[in-house]
Amino acid sequence: MPHIRRLSAEQATAIEEQHYVQYTSLLGTYAGSIRDEKVTRERNPLMFAIAAEELGNFMKRHTRQDPTADPSKLKEFDMLVGIIRSTVKGVLDI
């Protein structure tokens, strides 16, 4: 299991570094779709699960919830973390 977690973290880091603009845009689209109820748990359960999981994983990686997080990277994404939190507030608990 630790091996799988390490590979997943490495993959996420690579995506964030190599495709920063596209990835952050995708996260914004996920958050906006949940906020605007274009994607709901009842109507689109799979899409909702994918969006919620990706947002949750991003938030975990870029807050103090992840003990393996690089503190220097946390600062980079502070603004995006705040935007995502405020966007899905009251709809999704992340």
Every domain of the chain and the residues it spans: 2-88
- Other beta carbons within 10 Å of 59: 19
pTM: 0.80
Mapped onto helix, strand or coil, the DSSP state of residue 2 is: helix
Q: Can you give the pLDDT at residue 9?
A: 75
Residue 5 token pair:
């977690």
Q: How far apart are CA 28 and CA 38, in angstroms?
A: 13
Q: Look at the alpha carbons of 30, 84, 71, 5 in this order and tell me if their dihedral is positive or negative.
A: negative
Angstrom CA distances, 25 to 30, 42, 84, stand at 9, 25, 11
The answer, yes or no, to whether residue 79 has pLDDT greater than 90, is no
Q: pLDDT by residue (tens digit) across 2-57?
A: 766 777 778 888 888 899 899 999 999 999 999 999 999 999 999 999 999 999 98
Mapped onto helix, strand or coil, the DSSP state of residue 72 is: helix
Q: How far apart are CA 4 and CA 88, in angstroms?
A: 29
